[in-house]
Amino acid sequence: MAYDRNDYLVDNDDDEYLTSILVDINSRYYVLFSSNGDEKKVECDTVEDFMQVLELIRTVCDEDMVFYCDPVVSTKNAR
């Protein structure tokens, strides 16, 4: 699906808008932070859903507002 960034821009500075997004790849969720100080956690049930949202974020949002959690890596079974 092709996304048009212009469809997601704020028309009025008084409107609430995204200020940053936290992406947790391991747990497949996003935390959206708004200009009003609100937070919303968005969880994805499938990898496909997660990847579609990630594609939208990368297309529409400035890259300096997207942050990624460090990956959780287990060394228990490492050689």
Q: Tens of pLDDT along 28-75?
A: 999 999 999 999 999 999 999 999 999 999 999 999 999 999 887 777
DSSP letter for 58, please. H
Q: Please say if the pLDDT value at position 4 is more than 90.
A: no
Task: Please tell me the distance from the alpha carbon of residue 14 to that of residue 60, in angstroms, as a whole number.
Answer: 20
Q: Reduced to 3 states, what is the DSSP secondary structure of residue 76?
A: coil
Q: How many CB atoms lie within 10 A of CB 50?
A: 20
Q: Please say if the pLDDT value at position 79 is more than 70.
A: no
Q: What is the pTM of this model?
A: 0.78
Q: So where are the chain's domains?
A: 18-68
Which tokens hold the place of 5? 């960034």
Task: Please tell me the distance from the alpha carbon of residue 71 to that of residue 20, in angstroms, as a whole number.
Answer: 19
**The residue count for the chain:** 79
